């Protein structure tokens, strides 16, 4: 099942012009900055680093390339990775930008959120992601914000858990935010573009892990 779902994903992405192999063509364009992936902070728990994980980001004037390797995921679940970009991070209330900045003050901080990659977690709860986002207009983004200044943007790589793979909507689960999930599991503050992205299902979506690249950290390493 895992191999079949991976093949399905690759065929779907190639057909829509989003094949992950595009990222490899850009991987050597700029210096890579590495960060540890963390379990996302909640109201009850602080962010916790994941041992052995690594997220890497390279920025050039032409765009950004990312790779992310992580673990401590639910075996067999679908996980998607997302570009969460603040193009005006100087307007955020803190460094790094907070969740309230990203969604609640999207216009002020210049938020853009868009799909990066999607996989089925391995039987031991691991996953790897690769993506390239070109500078300029962002096709399929949650907001109308452009991505014109990669070096001056704060970039968060965020993972979304979609629950167990549902074969008849596998393509949607692997390439959208909502795919496979109940509408009541989507955070109320998220924009309508997010809540309409993908085919709904019986699972619950959960934002679970992230890696944060601030402007200063990126420029200084």
pLDDT bin (cut points 50, 70, 90) of residue 12 is very low
At 29, the pLDDT band (50, 70, 90 cuts) reads low
The contacts of residue 127 (CB under 8 Å, 6+ apart) are: 69, 70, 71, 73, 79, 119, 121, 159
**Residue 135: band (very low, low, confident or very high) from pLDDT cuts 50, 70, 90:** very high
CA distance 25 to 29: 9
Q: What is residue 20's DSSP assignment?
A: T
Dump the DSSP string for 44-111: SS--EE-TT-EEEEEEETTEEEEEEEE--PPTTEEEEEEEEEES-GGGSSSSSPPHIIIIITHHHHTE
**Tens of pLDDT, residues 139-179:** 999 999 999 999 999 999 999 999 999 999 999 999 999 99
In which element (H, E) is residue 13 found?
helix 2-15
Asked if residue 15 has pLDDT above 60, the reply is: no
Residue 3 has pLDDT above 50, yes or no: no
Q: How confident is the model at residue 216 (pLDDT cuts 50, 70, 90)?
A: low
DSSP state at residue 183: G
Which pair of tokens denotes residue 5? 């779902």
Among all chains, which residue has been given the structure tokens 């109940």?
A: 182
List pLDDT tens digits, range 31-88: 889 999 999 988 788 999 999 999 999 999 999 999 999 999 999 999 999 999 999 9
User: What's the CA gap between 221 and 93, in Å, rounded?
Assistant: 24
The average confidence (pLDDT) of the chain is 88
CA atoms within 13 A on the CB side of 151: 8
Instruction: Look up residue 181 and give its DSSP letter.
Output: B
The pLDDT of residue 31 is 82
- Supply the pLDDT for residue 42: 82
Handedness of CA 192, 157, 167, 171 (dihedral sign): positive
Structure-token match 């190639």, residue found: 14
pLDDT higher than 90, residue 116: yes
């Amino acid at each position: 099942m895992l191999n079949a779902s991976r093949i399905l994903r690759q065929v779907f992405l190639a057909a829509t012009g989003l094949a992950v192999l595009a990222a490899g063509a850009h991987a050597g364009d700029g210096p890579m900055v590495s960060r540890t992936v963390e379990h996302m902070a909640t109201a009850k728990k602080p962010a916790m680093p994941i041992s052995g994980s690594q997220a890497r980001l390279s920025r050039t004037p032409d765009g950004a390339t990312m790779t992310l390797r992580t673990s401590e995921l639910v075996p067999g679940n679908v996980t998607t990775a997302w570009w969460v970009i603040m193009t005006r991070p100087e307007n955020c209330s803190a460094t790094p930008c907070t969740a309230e900045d990203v969604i609640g003050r999207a216009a002020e901080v210049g938020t853009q959120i868009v799909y990066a990659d999607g996989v089925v977690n391995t039987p031991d709860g691991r996953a790897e992601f690769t993506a390239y986002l070109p500078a300029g207009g962002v096709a399929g983004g949650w907001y109308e914000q452009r991505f014109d200044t990669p070096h001056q943007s704060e970039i968060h790589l965020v993972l979304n858990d979609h629950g167990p793979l549902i074969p008849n909507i596998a393509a949607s689960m692997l390439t959208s935010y909502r795919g496979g999930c109940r509408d009541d599991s989507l955070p109320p503050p998220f924009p309508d573009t997010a809540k309409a992205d993908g085919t709904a299902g019986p699972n619950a979506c959960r934002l679970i892990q992230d890696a944060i690249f601030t402007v200063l950290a990126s420029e200084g390493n």
